Chain A
Amino acid sequence: MATTVAAEAKFDLTLTEEQQLVQRTAREWSRDRLLPIAAEIDEQGAVPRALVREMGQLGFMGIDVPERWGGAGLDMVSYVLVMEEVNRACASTGVVLGSHVSLATAPLARYGTDAQKERSLIRLAKGEWLGCFALSEPASGSDAASMRATARRDGEAWVLNGTKNFITNGAFADLTVVFAQADPEKRHKGIVAFAVEKGAPGFTVGKLEKKLGIRGSDTAQLHFTDVRVPDDQRLGAVGEGFAVALWTLDGGRIGIAAQAVGIARACLEDSLAYAKERHAFGQRIADFQAIQAKLADMATEIDAARLLVWRAASMRDRGERHSAAAATAKLFASDVAVRAARECVQIFGGYGYLQDYPAERHYRDAKITEIYEGTSEIMQLVIAKEMLGDASA
C-alpha cells in the first residue's frame, strides 16, 4: 500500500556560516534601506532602479548563479533566506528580485548554452540586466499548455507572434524568457522557450496593470509581432519549452513561498509592536488573551511555513524531485500569509484599515502569493498528482 509519509527530511536546520552571513546582509540591508521606504514604494507604484542596482552590487540578483557566470555561487537555501528578508520589508521589491532570480537567471543557468550565458547570464547575475518570464497569456494562465503565441521556424531564426500577460518586470526587463507554440498538434510538447532581448523589432510593451497589491512592481502585457529571434536565442531543445517552464516554476514557487513567509513575518512583527504599544481598558492589548492567541498562532504557522520552504529549497539544492515539496510550501505559506495579514489588520483595528499603517499594505500584498506562479488550486493538483501517481505505480 502506498504511504503518504513525506520523504526523509535529510536536512540540517543549522545554517552554514555563509548562509548566516547572507541572512544578516539581507536582513540589515532590507531593514536599513528598504523598510523605511516600503510605504512610499507602494504609494508611488515603483521600486527605485537604484535599489535594484544595490541588490545587484550585493549579489542578490545572481545569488545562485555560479561564480563563473558572474553570480555569487550560493544555493537555493540562501536564496530563500534573502527572499524572506527582502519581502519582510517590501513585497514589491521582493517580487522584482524573485522574478529576476527564479524565473530568468535560473532557466538561463540551467538550459542556456555557454554562449548564451556569456552574453546574458553574466549581466543578469550582476544586476546590470533585469530579467522577466513570459508564459501566461490573456486566455491562458494555469492552463499554460494551451498558449496561443506561436513560433514559426524561418531559416536560422524563428518568428514569434502573440501576447503575454501579467509579466512581472515586463516593462523594464532587458531579457525576457518567453514561451511559444511551434507545433500545436503536439500540445505541450510543441512549446519552445526563447531568451529575447529588449528592443527586438516587433517586441513591444503594452499596458501596465493596476493591481491590488505589490504595486511597486510593474506588471505588463508584452506583444510579439513578427519578432525574428535567432535560433541561438532558443533556450533548451525544440519541444522542451514546457519542461523548461515547469522546472523554472518549481523554483519560482519556492521563492514565492519564501515571499509569503516574509510578508507573514512582517504581519507578525508589526502586530507585536502595535500590541505592546496600544492600550485599551487600562492595559496593553498584548495583555489580552484574545490577542495573544492570534500572535501565537501567527508565529506557529510562520514557523511551519518556513520549515516547508527550507525543505523544498534544500531538496532543489540536492537535485532531488521537488515539485510536490515546492507546491506544498507555496500552498501552505501563501495561506499563512493571507491569514496573518487578516489578523494583523484585526489587531490594528481601525488603524489597520488606514494607509497610514503597514497592516493595510500587507493585507493587499499577501493575496497575490495565492495566485501567481501557480494558484493554490494548481498547487493542490500538483500535490495530489504526486500522491495519486505514486499510488498507482
Chain B
Amino acid sequence: MKLLVCVKQTPDSTVRVKVAGDGRSIDASQITWAISPYDEYAVELALERKDADPSTTVAVVTVGPTRSRDALRQALAMGCDEAILVTGAAAESLDGLAVARALAKVVEEAKPALVLCGRQASDDDQGLVGQALAETLGWPHVSTITKFRPADAGPAGSVDGIDVWREVEGGHEVWRTSGPVVLTVQKSEKEPRYPSLPGIMKAKKKEIPEKDASSLGVDAGGAKLEIVKMEPPPARGGGKIVKDGDMKQTAAELVRLLREEAKIL
C-alpha cells in the first residue's frame, strides 16, 4: 500500500512568535521550524502501518518555501521512503485552498491508496487543507482520526477498504471506507518517533525532488484569502488576591468580583 502524508512546516511549538513590522505576518528571523505537530502524528501513523506491513511505502509532501525542505528531511529521517517539495515563488503566498489544489496535482501523479494530513496546522489553525484536498480530488474523507488499518481480511484473505477510528465522547467510532480516501489525523497511539541517527544518515542519501508550484497550475494570484492584520493577544493584567476578612467574607467578595468585574457568573 502506498501512503502519502501531507505536512506543513510551522514554527516549533517552543518558539515565542512575534508579529513582524508589516503587521500582517510573523517575524521569521529567530524562528526554529518544525513539522506541525498534527502532521507529525500523521507521519507517525503512516510509519506505524509500515512497521506492521513492510511492503507499505510512505511518501511525504509539503507545499511551501524552500526552507520546508528541512521538514521533509526530518520526515525521511523518521523513516518515510520518499519526499516531494512543492515550492517556488508561487508557493510562498498560497492560501489553504490553493495549497489543496497543488497537493491534488501531486496526489494525481503519485496515486497513493490513501492520503494523511494533520487535522490542522499549528500556525494558522485553519483546519482546511485536508478537507479541501478531498473535495478537489472528489475523494471521501474522514477527519480527526486516531488509528487506521486495512479492513479485516475476508475469508479469502482479501483486503477490502480501510477501517478508521475516531475519538468521540466516551469512546470511539470505527468507520469503514472503500477506495482512496483522505484522512486527517488527531493523534497517533504512540508519540511520534525521534529520527534515529542511522535514519538521519539514510535520509541524507535520498534526493528530494522539487516541483515548482506554478508548474502544477497553481499561481500566487489564485489565493482567495488575504491576511489583513495580525495582532498579539492583549497583555494579561495582574491578578487580584482576595484576602481580607474571614473565609466567609473572602468568598462573598470573590463572588461579587466574579459577577460584577469579571462578569463570568
Contact = CB atoms under 8 A, between A and B. Distances in A.
A78 B200 CA distance: 12
B201 A58 contact: no
Interface stretch (B104-112, B190-198, B252-260): B190-198
Contact of B197 (A17, A32, A74): A74
Interface residues of A, number: 21
Contact of A67 (B191, B194, B198, B203): B198
B74 interface: yes
Contacts of A28: 194
B77 interface: yes
Contacts of A32: 191
A93 B206 CA distance: 33
B201 A25 contact: no
Contacts of B195: 21, 24-25
Q: B interface, by DSSP: helix, strand, loop or mixed?
A: helix
A202 interface: no
B200 A57 contact: no
A78 B73 CA distance: 17
Given A17-B73, A21-B73, A21-B77, A72 B201 contact: yes
Interface of A: 17-18, 20-22, 24-25, 28-29, 32, 57-60, 63, 67, 71-74, 78
B211 interface: no
A72 B194 contact: no
B204 interface: yes
B198 A59 contact: yes
A25 B197 contact: yes
Contact of A18 (B191, B194, B196, B201): B201
Task: Tell me whether chain A's interface is mostly helix, strand or loop, or mixed.
Answer: helix
A63 B74 CA distance: 18
B70 interface: yes
Q: A22, A24, A28, A29 — which one has the most chain B CB atoms within 10 A of its CB?
A: A24
Contacts of A22: 197, 200
A22 to B, nearest CB: 6
Given A25-B196, A67-B201, A72-B196, 4 more contacts: A20-B70, A21-B200, A21-B203, A32-B191
Contact of B194 (A17, A29, A73, A74): A29
A162 to B, nearest CB: 36
Nearest to B70: A17
A18 B198 contact: no
A69 B199 CA distance: 15
21 contacts: A17-B70, A17-B73, A18-B201, A20-B70, A21-B73, A22-B197, A25-B194, A25-B195, A29-B194, A32-B191, A57-B196, A58-B194, A58-B196, A59-B200, A60-B197, A67-B201, A72-B196, A72-B200, A72-B201, A73-B198, A74-B201
Given A17-B70, A21-B73, A58 B204 contact: no
